[in-house]
């Protein structure tokens, strides 16, 4: 068993308010490449070169080809034991919030309640020229997409993915709800490189407000030295192990 698992289970076992923050590592075992690992490279591009308004303005087709590639990987994927454990926690704790940076929808598919999507959804499209006809965008689960780049059904202008790009603001309501949710007893941050703001600052805020903080990640991150308990392991192994111990103690 990884060091820290016992301590995390003990804290969670007596927690009332729990907040979990996730990143791409949670979906790695479902076959979805993380952004910053070697598998995150697509053709010769890094995500930081594609997930920006500037990249889309310059070459919407290439940006859409990348999203179409990710959409196809996600369409073929199912939630793994990390998503399932988090879904069980969302039912167990008196107050539970999941703040996810993932746009794949696998947490929702696993049945997790209380999901705050920080970076939107890859299954939502929006009008890139903001014609205003569908301000919240529309759902499109076609994978692969029939026409690249896809178009707004109202005005015929370019459509864009309904995700938050580098340099764009996190939706205000998501940010506000996340800020409220870090007022908790235990905050668990899982599978994120903790490099991208504002998600990266949430665990620090939780700790500053008195929460016991746990990180689950096979690699060290900037958050590792700042949390109370850093567990070096994979989400799909560590989270079910924590859950097993919580049940054994109950
Ligand atoms: P990253 O790709 O930056 O980091 C993934 C993290 O998951 C790394 O720290 C890995 O060590 C860890 N990891 C890999 N396999 C794991 C496993 N089986 N269990 C647990 N952890 C594992 O992804 P994010 O931190 O989610 O934003 O990236 C944050 C944001 O940057 C994304 O939402 C996306 C990206 O560019 C935008 O597109 C705006």
Pocket of ligand 1 (CB under 6 A): 23-25, 28-29, 34-37, 40, 47, 51, 101, 119, 164-166, 191-193, 195-196, 216-219, 221, 234-236
> Does residue 92 register a pLDDT over 80?
yes
| pTM score, whole prediction | 0.96
pLDDT at residue 3 in the model: 85
Substitution site in 25, 169, 197, 201 for ligand 1 pocket (most atoms within 8 Å of beta carbon): 25
Greatest alpha-carbon span in the chain: 58
Exposure b/e, 29-41, CB count within 10 A at least 16 = b: bbebbbbbeeeee
Q: Is 107 a catalytic residue?
A: no
Please answer whether residues 187 and 203 qualify as being in contact, where contact means their C-beta atoms are separated by less than 8 angstroms: yes
Q: Are strands 115-117 and 95-100 parallel, antiparallel or unpaired?
A: parallel
- Distance (Å) from CA 34 to ligand 1 centroid: 5
Q: For residue range 175-194, what is the model confidence (pLDDT) as tens digits?
A: 999 999 999 999 999 999 98
Q: Would you place residue 75 in the very low, low, confident or very high pLDDT band (cuts 50, 70, 90)?
A: very high
Q: For residue range 226-240, what is the model confidence (pLDDT) as tens digits?
A: 999 999 999 999 999
Please answer whether residues 57 and 64 qualify as being in contact, where contact means their C-beta atoms are separated by less than 8 angstroms: no
Mean pLDDT of all residues in 85-111: 98
Q: Which two tokens stand for residue 157?
A: 């202008």
Q: How far is CA 125 from CA 68, 150, 157, in A?
A: 12, 9, 12
Q: Would you place residue 43 in the very low, low, confident or very high pLDDT band (cuts 50, 70, 90)?
A: confident
- Distance (Å) from CA 193 to ligand 1 centroid: 5
Mean pLDDT of all residues in 144-171: 95
Mean pLDDT of all residues in 89-107: 97
Give me the catalytic one of 119, 126, 160, 234.
119
Task: Please give the backbone phi and psi of residue 226, each rounded to the nearest 5 degrees, phi first.
Answer: -105, -15
Cα–Cα distance measured from residue 64 to residue 95, given in angstroms and rounded to the nearest whole number: 38
Mean pLDDT of all residues in 18-39: 91
- Distance (Å) from CA 235 to ligand 1 centroid: 12
Q: Would you place residue 158 in the very low, low, confident or very high pLDDT band (cuts 50, 70, 90)?
A: very high
């Amino acid at each position: 068993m990884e060091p820290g698992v016992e301590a995390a289970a003990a804290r969670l076992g007596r927690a009332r308010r729990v907040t979990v923050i996730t990143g791409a590592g949670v979906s790695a075992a479902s076959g979805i490449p993380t952004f910053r690992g070697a598998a995150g490279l697509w053709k010769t591009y890094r995500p930081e070169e594609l997930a920006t308004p500037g990249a889309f303005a310059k070459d919407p087709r290439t940006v859409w080809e990348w999203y179409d590639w990710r959409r196809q990987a996600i369409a073929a994927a199912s939630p793994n034991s990390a998503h399932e454990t988090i879904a069980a926690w969302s039912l167990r704790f008196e107050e539970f919030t999941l703040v996810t940076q993932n746009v794949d929808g696998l947490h929702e598919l696993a049945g997790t309640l209380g999901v705050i999507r920080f970076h939107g959804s890859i299954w939502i499209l929006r009008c890139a020229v903001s014609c205003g006809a569908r301000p919240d965008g529309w759902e499109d689960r076609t994978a692969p997409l029939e026409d690249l780049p896809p178009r707004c059904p109202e005005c015929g202008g370019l459509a864009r993915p309904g995700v938050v790009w580098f340099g764009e603001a996190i939706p205000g309501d998501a940010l506000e709800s996340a800020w409220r949710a870090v007022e908790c007893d235990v905050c668990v941050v899982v599978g994120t490189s903790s490099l991208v703001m504002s998600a990266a600052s949430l665990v620090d805020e939780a700790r500053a407000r008195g929460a016991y903080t746990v990180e689950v990640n096979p690699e060290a991150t900037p958050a590792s030295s700042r949390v109370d308990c850093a567990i070096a392991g994979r989400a799909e192994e560590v989270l079910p192990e924590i859950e097993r111990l919580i049940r054994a103690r109950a």
